[in-house]
Structure 1
Amino acid sequence: MDDIPLLCALPEESNGRLALWIPYFGGTKEDGARTLRRFAQAGFIGVGIDPWQHGDRATSESPGEFSAGVFAAFRSRMWPILGRTTLDAMRVIDWADELHGVGSRGVVACGVSMGGDIAISLAGADRRVARVTAIGSSPDWTRPGMEHVDRRGVIIDQGSPSFSGQWFYDRFDPVSHLGAFTRDLELTFEVGTADTHVPPAGAAEFLERLEAEHPCESRRIRIIRHPGLDHTALVQNVGIRERALDWLLAPEA
């Protein structure tokens, strides 16, 4: 779709709704092929996207160089990935709405780790998104206390944002735009209590502030805590992902 690489799964009988898959850091749309088939089997038009600088639009760096470079300058390099992919996801919804009229029926989105961060930001930016499940993700782009995923106890120096990174943060960071979540919305955070890479406190503080500052009876947000799971164990747990998808694709209440 324009310059955004997509992978689509079409249902035999459509319910007229769109389900988005947004990959984790370093992942691609193809990594979500099984999830897209789940979407289609449930009647959704399933669409997976390559985040900016991922998959078919990856940089010329090797995967190892790319990962090291992003985490060496997290706010300068990660924030533009989060922001540009949020914008891309909105464009994909526009495209699917023009073709299939899905926007009026409610869009659902699923993401793991970075992909969940983007899905949460998308829900704040686009009111067509009705339900989101985020696994090992945070609504706080600053991720206070974030440690290296493979070096427990070593906190990442996130550096300063680039101008474009700050621009995206100022527009899409969920904790900076709590009022955008005062509407009909279902959002589930799947967090690991031992996750020090994407600390679970981010989701808890987001929900606490949201309820205190912007109460909304029609909004339903829940945090499912998985005792003892660190980031890797959480995002690689097939059972957790399957149950999260069951909830995401369930008929509307």
Structure 2
Amino acid sequence: MKNEKQRQQINGAEVTKEWVDGIPVIYKEPAEPQPERRLALFLSGLGGKKEELIPYLADIADRGYIGLAFDLYQHGERGMDQDDVKARVFTNMRRYGWPVLGQTVLDVERVIDWAVSDLGVLPQICMGGISMGGDITICVAGIDSRIRRGAPIIATPDWLRPGMYDLFRPDRILDPGTPDHYASFFYQQFNPITHLERYENCPPMYLILGEEDNHIPPENAERFRSQLSGLYPEAADRLVFHYVTGTPSNHMDIIGRREEWWEGLLDWWLVQERD
């Protein structure tokens, strides 16, 4: 039955799997019981699967948090093959990518509701993610006051993605495509940079950026902070940027260099505040 709790050994780590309103969720608990149950939600990038995040979840659990991941909309156990969903989205990022972003934003809300009620976690959530998972993190940070710290990695707050080059052909600029009405709905509702008013009281966020990233150029995040500063200077001050520099530091290179930024990000992100 899909709603049964299952203990699984994946890549040498024990995790628990559950289905939450049709969303496949895995999570890893700390080895020792904690005084308070705290949640850190971590999401993959486009074409990723939740199981690939287990090393991240294990590190989160080592810090005393429940590390939780789920498959993005149309990803993993929710439908499409990794290569298929990635190829489809890159044929028309706006038509096929915006619904993945928007539907997953809504799914985050469902999963957090479930985690608070069924896992008994505190309603102060740490959230982060890689690439598209980071885009979703930035979005949710503007609409859900339960997010207390955000950790977007090589992500953008602008769903138009100006200056986006092909992920696999970094010498070729990518045609972002044209959305249909369905896709446009998600952009109009959720695109962070066109809803700056939602970030007046945003939580602190620590953004990992690649100096040479031409798939998600750092300028996207820099422009967001600059525009936010003109309206809400204190909110802009809560956005911390960490640049991974040198060559290679394009989009996929940053993931491969995680030993340079992951531990420092964990130190900043998972702060055990007592409310």
Deviations 1:66-117 (Å, cap 9, x if unpaired)?
322210111000000011111101110000111244353x100110111101
| 1:114 corresponding residue in structure 2 | 132
Matched to 1:5, the amino acid is P
CA RMSD for the aligned pairs?
A: 1.8
- Give distance in 2, aligned partners of 1:63 and 1:7: 18
How many percent identity over aligned positions? 37
| 2:251 corresponding residue in structure 1 | 231
Give the alignment partner of residue 141 of structure 2, picking from 123, 131, 137. 123
CA spacing shift, 1:164–1:122, aligned 2, 3 Å: same
Give the alignment partner of residue 68 of structure 1, picking from 66, 72, 87. 87
| 1:7 corresponding residue in structure 2 | 26
Deviations 1:118-169 (Å, cap 9, x if unpaired)?
1111111211001011111111111101000121231111111122211111
Contiguous gaps of at least 5 residues in structure 2: 1-19
Give the C-alpha shift of residue 63 in structure 1: 3.5
- Give distance in 2, aligned partners of 1:130 and 1:78: 27
- Give distance in 1, aligned partners of 2:235 and 2:270: 22
Matched to 2:51, the amino acid is E
Larger gyration radius, structure 1 or structure 2: 2
Give the alignment partner of residue 26 of structure 1, picking from 47, 59, 66. 47
Deviations 1:27-66 (Å, cap 9, x if unpaired)?
111111121122222222221010001111122xx54333
Give the alignment partner of residue 108 of structure 2, picking from 60, 70, 89. 89
- Establish whether residue 43 from structure 1 lines up as the match of residue 61 from structure 2: no
Task: Give yes or no for contact 1:5–1:50 (8 Å, CA) kept in 2.
Answer: yes
Residues 1-253 of structure 1: matches in 2 within 5 Å?
1-11=20-30, 12-14=32-34, 15-59=36-80, 62-104=81-123, 106-183=124-201, 185-216=203-234, 220-228=238-246, 229-239=249-259, 240-252=261-273
Higher alpha-carbon deviation: 94-103 or 198-207? 94-103
Deviations 1:166-206 (Å, cap 9, x if unpaired)?
11111111101111111151101111111000111011000
Scaled by the length of structure 2, what TM-score is found? 0.86
Scaled by the length of structure 1, what TM-score is found? 0.93
Task: Give yes or no for contact 1:93–1:103 (8 Å, CA) kept in 2.
Answer: no
**Looking at both structures, which has the greater relative contact order when contacts are Cα pairs under 8 Å and sequence separation is at least 6?**
1
Tell me the matched-pair count.
250
- Give distance in 2, aligned partners of 1:125 and 1:103: 18
Matched to 1:84, the amino acid is Q
